[in-house]
Structure 1
Amino acid sequence: MNSKLASLLCCLIMLVSFSGCTKVTQLVKDAQPTKAELLAEINEEHRRYEGGSSDPTPYLRHYDDPADAQKSTDYLTDTYSEYDAAKELNPEEAEEDVNYLFDAFYYDFAFYDYFGGHAVFDQAKADTLQEVQSRDSLTCEDLQKILVSHLTFIKDGHFNINQDYPSEKDIPFFFRQVMFVKTDSGYQNANGKVVASVDDHPDLDELFKRSISEQGYLVYYPVLLKPATFDGTEWEKHTCDETLTVHYTDGSTDTLTADAWSQYYKELPKDQNTDLRQTDGIPVFQFNSFEVSFLQEVNAAAAQMSDAAISMLDLRSNVGGYEEVAHQWITRYSRQRVQGNGVRYDVVNPVSVAIQAHRWQTHDNILILLSGKCSASSAEITMDLAYNLENSLIIGENTNGCMIGNGGHVELPNSKCSVIMTSVCVYLLPEGTDYFEEMRGLSPDIWVPAKEAETLAAKLMENLK
């Protein structure tokens, strides 16, 4: 058999194996909820956390001397010097930078006690100094890598050294070769075969996520979260190391592989801070950071969208910024003050700096928030605010996973390494909240690859009655 014929035969076998499973069958159409039913289901999921409370006690700071609390922001700076990765450091300079960083941890890092206090940080410092002292020569990049390698216990999504994150973050892999629907019989493929089990994944409700087919129908696909290192190479494609074997009650099986994942980020045109566009008649507003400098544009767009029956807020490329901009946008859009489930606490002076009971706000129009792995910090807080606004849908990928902390900046004196660490305040969700986890991110209501979220969301709205 020649190679071309073999390849054709292989393709035919695959087509037969998945025959009809990517086609929108009558079963898929019959399984579609109405728009009102879908909104009611997601509204109920969002309201589960209404009235919950958070406990700041594990996060509170304990200084050796109460007077040390006065230095809780002493190491923070707005200075960003030029960083030269190849610059040589002598041993004394490298050691000085190590000592400086660990002093900054003690005085300024809001999570110092939460991540183990002296016992953990002193050991990390000793290990770091030992490795530094063992080197005959060091560049600034060498020092950066050494520091990062000894700080993997810090699970603060903001924390990084020169955009090198010590801890892994979870990225999503979508298995979309076969579409599934959820019925009274369980999960069924488009041809009606009922899923009995999936190897190594006993909890089917955890594995199968509400999603949207390429034709714009509400379906379910398996989605797995896998840890990935964000060290500046996150733009490259990632592949899943796992296949899924689906067993049906009739004894047949399907073996599914995941789509490759790469981080989605859409630049705005030069000299443009915001973009208000339309997709299939739905207004879509994109802005990539919560900057006060273009607050007027942000608020104007919110006011324009407030009367639309359906609107989209594109946060897939929004890396955060000033939280108050988020509050102003959603206030202008919904014409009411909306509070999130989280409460901000000052961990140095143990009182809440924003004690306001969150409450459910009724809202007739539909707000779709588009999410991706770049959606970070205040973008995630915006989605938490939307959890208390009726008829809000989060569509896309799980977010960055850096909502609890913030972006205080420390610069090391000799290497000029730029260190981002949370200072003073934390944003805490109610006990038992499962829709967000630091490093994993905030889970969307409907899971689709970020790149396709805007198009698929518009198709879904068109299809639902």
Structure 2
Amino acid sequence: MVVLLSLPLQGCRKKQDEVKIPWKTEQLAEQIDQTRKTEAYKLPAMPKEKSSLQKYWKALDYALENQHASSPSRTLTKKEAREDTTALFAMLKELYGCYAYFNQSDAFAQAEEAVLQAIERIRELDYTAYRSCIRTHLRFLEDQHFLIDQTPLKRPMVTFTMQDTFEKRKDGFYFKDKRVTAIDEETKLETVLKEDALHAGRYVYYQKTNEQKTEVTLHFAKETAQRQKVLPLAAHPSDKAILEKEIQGVPYVHTARMFYAKREQEKADAFLKTAEKFKDSKAAILDLRGNSGGDLLVAERWYRSFSGTVKGGHMQTLLKLPLENPLLEEKFHAEDFAQSLSDLRKKEAWKQLDELHAVVERRSEKQIKNDTLLFVLQDDQTASAAEHLIDRLHSLDHVVFIGTPTAGMLRGSSFLTVYLKHSSLEVSFGNMLTQFSDSYAKEYYGIEPDIWTNDASALVEQLLTQ
């Protein structure tokens, strides 16, 4: 169990009026602001679906009746497997928030039929074979929140780097005085070589991919090549729930996740208090590296407290839930959900589309004034609700994102975990669909930083003292 920790600050604290932001750092923030002001992201249209409230309640009843884990069935008859399959796809049709988005060309019906046919072909049907079959035929779901036995359908992407750096000259990139024409198959070197923020004139290889790499091939101008070792970037897990301190007199917080206000009120409140502290500071550091996500409403409250506005962001979210129906409260009354329905209703600006769907749009037409120079640290493990906070902060002036692309857990959400009646196969999925421009963010790939680095802590120190 993680423990709430607030580090005592050593020595004399600098008052905020004594904190001096280096001119070069202020200039960098201004340049980033200007770049953002020229960017416009067009959101794709929300998919439309016809839903029946009666069928929704029936599917929800099945899900709520099968909330509790039991030992996976070692033996499974084909009749039981067929019944579980039919129940699974019926439940997804009514409850899964991304169903319409992924149901191009009747993809779910085709997947269900493929599973049913595979069941008939399998000679020795057991839990493992059935799970493999379901995973295989649902792999078209590009949603990292969708889990089978607590495992995503596809492996997450990883950012790789190498220890040796590159140099940029007038005629291209050089590696140890040899002009590079390609790295593996990539000829647009700017996509994988990023300026080294800590060492002027040097460039670092960064590539986020779902491939398992240990080496890459550097291709040179004189038709020669060499293999070069690459490494996955180090993770930055937090061994404390919340770590607060100061760096060069600037307040800093590192939070392990977005704590659920209903279950972890003390930790959620402690994190929310940092928003007010940051708002009153000349500069602040929000470290979201390793933040696995959690309560989207807590992330939203932090943003509103810090920014003083409900505006901002470049995404829109569709919720598949009869929010205003009193029967929903009755059905959820006995369930221990991490978020309360009242919070979900009150703390988001939902626009009701019909009895089953509501939408919230976060379209920022222009940058929003913000006086605090905020450094946001991010990495491959910055996920879900933490990414939604990053999206909101992208609309504010004087916010600089440092690190590597986020986890890319953006499209779906977490809502229900269901154990299929006969097999006890564990299926987890959400009731939200979040839409975003591919030029801004991608599922699995995430949201890119303003400044790429594997040592965000050292870079922030440099930015505050240069």
Summarize the alignment of residues 182-221 of structure 1 with structure 2, pairs less than 5 Å apart: 185=170, 197-198=181-182, 200-213=185-198, 219-221=202-204
Letter of the 1:364 partner, please give it. Answer: D
Does residue 326 of the first structure (1) align with residue 296 of the second (2)? no
Match of 1:416 in 2: 424
- Relative to 1, partners in 2 of residues 1:255 and 1:364: Cα closer, same or farther, differing over 3 Å? farther
Contact 1:187–1:194 (CA<8 Å) still a contact in 2? no
Letter of the 1:353 partner, please give it. Answer: V
Does residue 285 of the first structure (1) align with residue 285 of the second (2)? no
CA–CA separation in structure 2 for the residues paired with 1:414 and 1:446: 50
- Relative to 1, partners in 2 of residues 1:342 and 1:119: Cα closer, same or farther, differing over 3 Å? closer
Superposed displacement of residue 140, structure 1: 3.4
CA–CA separation in structure 2 for the residues paired with 1:117 and 1:66: 23
Superposed displacement of residue 155, structure 1: 0.9
Query: Which secondary structure does the structure 2 equivalent of 1:177 belong to?
Result: coil
Letter of the 1:420 partner, please give it. Answer: S
Summarize the alignment of residues 52-451 of structure 1 with structure 2, pairs less than 5 Å apart: 52-57=41-46, 59-63=47-51, 68=55, 73=60, 76-77=63-64, 80-82=67-69, 84=71, 87-116=74-103, 119-180=106-167, 185=170, 197-198=181-182, 200-213=185-198, 219-228=202-211, 238-247=212-221, 255=226, 257-261=228-232, 264-269=235-240, 273-279=241-247, 281-290=249-258, 291-292=260-261, 293=265, 294-346=267-319, 349=353, 353-355=359-361, 357-358=363-364, 359-411=366-418, 412-423=420-431, 425-429=432-436, 431=437, 433-449=438-454
CA–CA separation in structure 1 for the residues paired with 2:270 and 2:370: 23
1:311-335 deviation line (CA, Å, top 9, x unaligned): 2222222222222211221233344
CA–CA separation in structure 2 for the residues paired with 1:159 and 1:263: 25
CA–CA separation in structure 2 for the residues paired with 1:62 and 1:83: 34
CA–CA separation in structure 1 for the residues paired with 2:100 and 2:313: 26
Superposed displacement of residue 380, structure 1: 0.8
Contact 1:91–1:137 (CA<8 Å) still a contact in 2? no
TM-score by length of 2: 0.75
Can you give the 5+ residue segments of structure 1 that lack an aligned partner in the other structure?
Answer: 1-32, 229-237
Contact 2:196–2:203 (CA<8 Å) still a contact in 1? yes
CA–CA separation in structure 2 for the residues paired with 1:436 and 1:278: 31
- Relative to 1, partners in 2 of residues 1:366 and 1:138: Cα closer, same or farther, differing over 3 Å? farther
Superposed displacement of residue 102, structure 1: 1.1
Can you give the 5+ residue segments of structure 2 that lack an aligned partner in the other structure?
Answer: 1-22, 322-352
1:400-420 deviation line (CA, Å, top 9, x unaligned): 212122112141223333322
Letter of the 2:302 partner, please give it. Answer: W
1:47-67 deviation line (CA, Å, top 9, x unaligned): 3445x442434x22245x686
1:370-408 deviation line (CA, Å, top 9, x unaligned): 222222111111111111011212222222212122112
CA–CA separation in structure 2 for the residues paired with 1:102 and 1:72: 10
Alignment length, in residue pairs? 403
Letter of the 2:294 partner, please give it. Answer: G
Query: Which secondary structure does the structure 2 equivalent of 1:353 belong to?
Result: strand
Superposed displacement of residue 115, structure 1: 1.9
- Relative to 1, partners in 2 of residues 1:97 and 1:195: Cα closer, same or farther, differing over 3 Å? same
Query: Which secondary structure does the structure 2 equivalent of 1:297 belong to?
Result: helix
Greater CA drift, 375-384 or 157-166: 157-166
Contact 2:159–2:232 (CA<8 Å) still a contact in 1? yes
Letter of the 2:252 partner, please give it. Answer: V
Match of 1:47 in 2: 37
- Relative to 1, partners in 2 of residues 1:417 and 1:436: Cα closer, same or farther, differing over 3 Å? same
- Relative to 1, partners in 2 of residues 1:157 and 1:267: Cα closer, same or farther, differing over 3 Å? same
Query: Which secondary structure does the structure 1 equivalent of 2:401 belong to?
Result: strand
Contact 1:326–1:378 (CA<8 Å) still a contact in 2? yes
Superposed displacement of residue 282, structure 1: 4.2
Superposed displacement of residue 459, structure 1: 3.8
Superposed displacement of residue 41, structure 1: 3.0
CA–CA separation in structure 2 for the residues paired with 1:70 and 1:81: 19
Query: Which secondary structure does the structure 1 equivalent of 2:151 belong to?
Result: coil
